[in-house]
């Protein structure tokens, strides 16, 4: 392992600072705006929702990232998604970015924006601008500022999500930090949430984008909570080069070192989001090994964690292996059920319940004990190749319906 986890989040990397404030966008008596800022210009990379209905902020950020121009800041609000808002939604994005330009003397075209919350409501622009003004005077590079920012972007999340790691490239210490939010409307089709990563690494933009795209495929694209792909999914990575490492210009060993650290950070945040699914009591993991192809392994593992019947079984601690095999069967991947072995795993033990087309007799009490853990894995050996993939989700509880039945209130 070439990286080490350290304390902090988006402010851990050199040159990055953060701020948050109560802007009363929708919520009262809680922070609901955050800003991440680097005075030094950054190269950027991003991935975005595949939903055809894209929020105004998603379209704004896509244009910034694809332009290749330097990026300095990201401003995020929670409470209102700025999706399905027409020209007024784009005007809100521009007004927010221009407020940063006025306060921090960076081009408004270097300011990304992101929103999360209720779809179909217009943002109160005056409150956004006021929030930017407050945060611009309160920017700090402390870990606490980063933690506060990670809390400000929460909606139905029950915990904030942040992480930082350090690694060495060219004899220089490099730091990668990040924060994310996501609890509902989560399904693999990009990264299904908001995530903001910062690094002081020196790397060419094209390689930064390549690393992000490759890592997302096996991290954020492998989580699901409810089968709904959001209109606002955004992942942005900003790198300002202040670590002073030789700039990475080819996919060499330095690039692989960076990508390994990036994978760890994204996997950590993805798992945190899956375990914090709306109403969830457990992290539900599906690991498929020895599949014919990587794509088959991804399809099969995502089908297992995405099935409502499977999720209900995990909640009820019911070792009903037929539900998981059924989900695999309709996933679209081709396989022979007579090759399959299926296990339940957790910190409480491991048990095979199905082997080569035949159900196995097993101790129901022992199975119950395994499935009572707060993290449960369905492990499937396909015996048809050497590819593998892991997907993450959560159990389906009564509280999921309660949370989403009155989300606008």
**Exposed e or buried b for every residue in 374-407, given b needs 16+ CB within 10 A?**
eebbbbbbbebeebbbbbbbbbbbeebeeebeee
Instruction: Please confirm, yes or no, whether 231 is among the known catalytic residues.
Output: no
pLDDT tens by residue, 284-332: 999 999 999 999 999 999 999 989 899 999 999 989 999 999 999 999 9
pLDDT value for 229: 62
Q: What is the 3-state secondary structure (H, E, C) of the chain?
A: CCEEEECCCCCCCCCEEEEEECCCCCCCCCCCEEEEEEEEEEEEEEEECCCCCCCHHHHHHHHHHHHCCCEEEEEEEEEECCCCCHHHHHHHHHHHHHHHHHHHCCCHHHEEEEEEEECCCCCCHHHHHHHHHHHHCCCECCHHHHHHHHHHCCCCCCCCEEEEEEEEECCEEEEEEEEEECCCCCCCCCCCCEEEEEECCCECHHHHHHHHHHHHHCCHHHECCCCCCCCCCEEEEEECCCCCCCCECCCCHHHHHHHHHHHHHHHHHHHHHHHCCCCCCCEEEEEEEEECCHHHHHHHHHHHHHCHHHHHHHHCCCCCHHHHHHHHHCCCCCCCHHHCEEEEEECCEEEEEEECCEECCCCHHHHHHHHCCCEEEEEEECCCCCEEEEEEEECCCHHHHHHHHCCCC
What residues contact residue 176 under an 8 Å CB cut-off, 6+ apart?
12, 13, 164, 165, 166, 167, 197, 198, 199, 201, 258, 261, 262, 265
Taking the C-alpha atoms of residue 354 and residue 343, their distance in angstroms, rounded to an integer, is 7
Query: How much of the chain, in percent, has pLDDT values that exceed 70?
Result: 92
Query: How much of the chain, in percent, has pLDDT values that exceed 90?
Result: 77
pLDDT value for 396: 80
Taking the C-alpha atoms of residue 79 and residue 27, their distance in angstroms, rounded to an integer, is 6
Taking the C-alpha atoms of residue 264 and residue 211, their distance in angstroms, rounded to an integer, is 12
**β partners of residue 47:** 235
Check 49, 116, 155, 192 and give the catalytic one: 192
Residue 182 has pLDDT above 90, yes or no: no
Q: Mean pLDDT score of the chain, rounded to an integer?
A: 91
pLDDT tens by residue, 352-384: 999 999 999 999 999 999 999 999 999 999 999
Work out the pLDDT band at 191, boundaries 50, 70, 90: very low
Structure tokens given for 402? 């309660």
Taking the C-alpha atoms of residue 366 and residue 372, their distance in angstroms, rounded to an integer, is 10
Distances in Å between the alpha carbon of 208 and those of 59, 188, 341? 20, 21, 39
Q: How many CA atoms lie within 13 A of 377 on its CB side?
A: 19
pLDDT value for 398: 64
pLDDT tens by residue, 89-126: 999 999 999 999 999 999 999 999 999 888 899 999 99
pLDDT tens by residue, 16-49: 999 999 999 988 888 999 999 999 999 999 999 8
Mean pLDDT of 137-165: 94
Distances in Å between the alpha carbon of 392 and those of 19, 122, 334, 338? 31, 33, 22, 25
Between residues 230 and 17, which one has the greater pLDDT? 17
Which of these ranges, 82-91, 215-224, 283-292, has the smallest mean pLDDT? 215-224
**β partners of residue 76:** 34, 114
In 3D, which of 272, 245, 268 has the Cα closest to residue 175? 245
Taking the C-alpha atoms of residue 84 and residue 311, their distance in angstroms, rounded to an integer, is 31
Cβ-based neighbour number of residue 271 at 10 Å? 19
The answer to whether the CB of 199 falls within 8 A of the CB of 175 is yes
Between residues 95 and 393, which one has the greater pLDDT? 95
Cβ-based neighbour number of residue 350 at 10 Å? 11
Structure tokens given for 399? 């509280």
The answer to whether the CB of 254 falls within 8 A of the CB of 142 is no
Work out the pLDDT band at 174, boundaries 50, 70, 90: very high
Which of these ranges, 39-43, 77-81, 190-194, 240-244, has the smallest mean pLDDT? 190-194
Residue 393 has pLDDT above 80, yes or no: yes
Q: How many CA atoms lie within 13 A of 286 on its CB side?
A: 31
Residue appearing with tokens 């957790």: 346
Q: How many CA atoms lie within 13 A of 210 on its CB side?
A: 13
- What is the pTM assigned to this prediction? 0.87
């Amino acid at each position: 392992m070439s990286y080490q986890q350290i304390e902090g989040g988006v402010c851990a990397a050199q040159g990055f600072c953060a701020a948050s404030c109560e802007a009363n966008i929708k919520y009262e008596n809680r922070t609901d705006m955050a800003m991440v800022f680097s005075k030094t210009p950054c190269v950027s990379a991003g991935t975005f929702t595949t939903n055809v209905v894209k929020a105004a902020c998603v379209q704004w950020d896509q244009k910034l990232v694809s332009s290749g121009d330097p990026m300095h800041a990201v401003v995020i609000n929670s409470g209102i998604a700025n999706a399905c808002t027409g020209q007024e939604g784009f005007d809100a994005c521009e007004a927010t970015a221009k407020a940063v330009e006025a306060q921090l003397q960076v081009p408004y075209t270097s300011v990304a924006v992101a929103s999360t919350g209720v779809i179909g409501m217009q943002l109160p622009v005056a409150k956004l601008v006021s929030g930017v003004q407050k945060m611009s005077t309160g920017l700090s590079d402390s870990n606490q500022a980063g933690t506060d920012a990670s809390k400000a972007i929460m909606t139905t999340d029950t915990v904030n999500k942040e992480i930082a790691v350090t690694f060495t490239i060219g004899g220089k210490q490099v730091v990668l930090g990040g924060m994310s939010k996501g609890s509902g409307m989560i399904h693999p089709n990009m990264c299904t949430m908001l995530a903001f990563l910062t690094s002081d690494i020196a790397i060419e933009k094209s390689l930064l984008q390549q690393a992000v795209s490759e890592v997302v495929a096996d991290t954020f694209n492998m989580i699901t909570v409810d089968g709904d792909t959001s209109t606002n999914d955004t992942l942005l990575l900003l790198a300002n080069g202040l670590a002073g490492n030789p700039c990475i210009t080819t996919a060499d060993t330095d690039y692989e070192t960076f990508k390994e650290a990036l994978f760890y950070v994204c996997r950590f945040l993805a798992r945190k989001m899956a375990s914090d699914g709306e109403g969830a009591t457990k992290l539900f993991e599906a690991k498929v090994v020895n599949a014919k192809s990587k794509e088959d392994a991804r399809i099969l593992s995502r089908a297992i964690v995405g099935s409502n019947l499977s999720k209900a079984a995990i909640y009820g601690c019911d070792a009903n292996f037929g539900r998981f095999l059924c989900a695999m069967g309709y996933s679209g991947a081709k396989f022979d059920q007579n090759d399959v072995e299926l296990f339940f795993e957790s910190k409480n033990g491991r048990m095979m319940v199905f082997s080569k087309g035949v159900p196995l007799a097993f101790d129901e009490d022992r199975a119950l004990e395994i499935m009572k853990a707060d993290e449960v894995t369905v492990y499937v050996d396909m015996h048809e190749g050497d590819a593998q993939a892991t997907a993450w989700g959560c159990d389906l509880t009564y509280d999921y319906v309660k949370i989403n039945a009155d989300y606008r209130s």
